Amino acid sequence: MLLSKLCNSFGVSGYEYDIRDFIKKEAKEYVENVSVDNIGNIIAHKECGNKKIILDVHIDEVGLIITGYNEDGTFRFNSLGKIDTNIIPCQTVFVGEDKIPGVIGFKPIHIQKEKSNKISYKDCCIDIGCNNKNQAKNLIKLGDSVVFDTKFSAFGGKFIKGKALDNRIGCFILLDLLKNNYNLNLYGVFNCQEKIGARGAQISSYRIKPDLVIIIDVIDIKNDDKSGIKLGSGPIIPIISKESIFDKKLHTSILKLADKKRIPYQVKTYIEEVKDVESYFRKNAISILVPCKYASSSISVASIEDIENTKVLIEEFLNTFSKGE
């Protein structure tokens, strides 16, 4: 399954080598013009019309970075991307270019000087089985990336779980959309470094100068979400984010199309952030988001039906937009 391969590939922000190679190879199956720019974004270009549109996803995932050595052969580390530190202890991980297996250790509660509801990275370490600092230095370099060791799988009949659902779900949807031809000047942009400032999207926006942008991403939902947003009820189409007001006309047309085609969807008035859309804020831009539980963690959960309905909605919109409707 393509989504399984995408999620199981490694690609922490700034270290997207494995996932970039995989997506580039996959995109070339459907698109003749596939390139990688200087920052590492993949651009799959299908010029079948005049209207210039970007479908934007990010390829990177949250992870960790090695920042120091301890005398006992363990490593100090910090995060790449926003991660709840409370989920860090006792995780299994892969470290460095050779993907050495390791475990995240945590200072036992009974010897902690201060007890807090928030775990600090300074109370944790990564253990790969080294006996001393010199042995550790010979195996792992400062700045090496760390990826969570979580395998993709389906469960519960209608759901999937795994690491990097944020945003390999978007990558999966975009790759599937690229199989078709539309009467559009279409750019499928697989951006890097979204988790550390949306740097890839900033470059793409400047170079391509699109007429319209659709950001395909996931959104983290809580079990006690008071807005009624939930898994299995369709993609989320937000109105505003912390930094952006989405194009009102575009938002309305997508809702009308979803109603016409009987595609389930959910509307959320306000979302905290969709980083890539902030890079396109001068353009006609909108986000279509797949609801996801426990996003930006070592393991997330999403609905298979939501993923399919998101893809169908975007596909219907591209066909409609290409006809000028």
Spell out the domains of the chain, with CATH numbers in brackets. Answer: 2-61+163-322 (3.40.630.10), 63-148 (2.40.30.40)
Q: Is 133 helix (H, G, I), strand (E, B) or coil?
A: helix
- Of 104-108, 143-147, 251-255, the one with minimum mean pLDDT is 104-108
In the chain, what is the greatest distance between 2 CA atoms, to the nearest angstrom? 67
- pLDDT at residue 177, as a whole number: 97
Mean local confidence (pLDDT), 26-31: 95
- pLDDT at residue 202, as a whole number: 60
Q: Which two tokens stand for residue 289?
A: 């988001």
C-beta of residue 4 within 8 angstroms of C-beta of residue 172:
no
Which of residues 207 and 316 earns the better pLDDT score?
316
d(CA 150, CA 157): 20
d(CA 205, CA 216): 15
Whole-number average pLDDT of the chain: 88
Is position 60 annotated in a ligand binding site?
A: no
Is the model's pLDDT at 199 over the cut of 70?
Answer: no
Which range in 141-155, 180-194, 208-222, 269-283 is most confidently predicted, on average pLDDT? 141-155
d(CA 295, CA 222): 10
Mean local confidence (pLDDT), 289-297: 92
- pLDDT at residue 127, as a whole number: 98
Determine if the pTM surpasses 0.75.
yes
- Of 29-38, 172-181, 186-195, 281-290, the one with minimum mean pLDDT is 281-290
Rounded alpha-carbon distances, angstroms, from residue 287 to 36, 212, 298, 310: 24, 11, 24, 11
Is the model's pLDDT at 179 over the cut of 70?
Answer: yes
- pLDDT at residue 210, as a whole number: 87
The predicted-structure confidence for 93-135, as pLDDT tens digits, reads as follows 999 999 999 999 987 665 555 556 678 898 999 999 999 999 9
What confidence tier does 267 reach under pLDDT thresholds 50, 70, 90?
confident
What confidence tier does 229 reach under pLDDT thresholds 50, 70, 90?
confident
Is position 166 annotated in a ligand binding site?
A: yes
Is the model's pLDDT at 303 over the cut of 60?
Answer: yes
Q: What percent of the chain has a predicted confidence (pLDDT) above 90?
A: 66
- pLDDT at residue 107, as a whole number: 73
- pLDDT at residue 206, as a whole number: 60
* Active site amino acids: 194
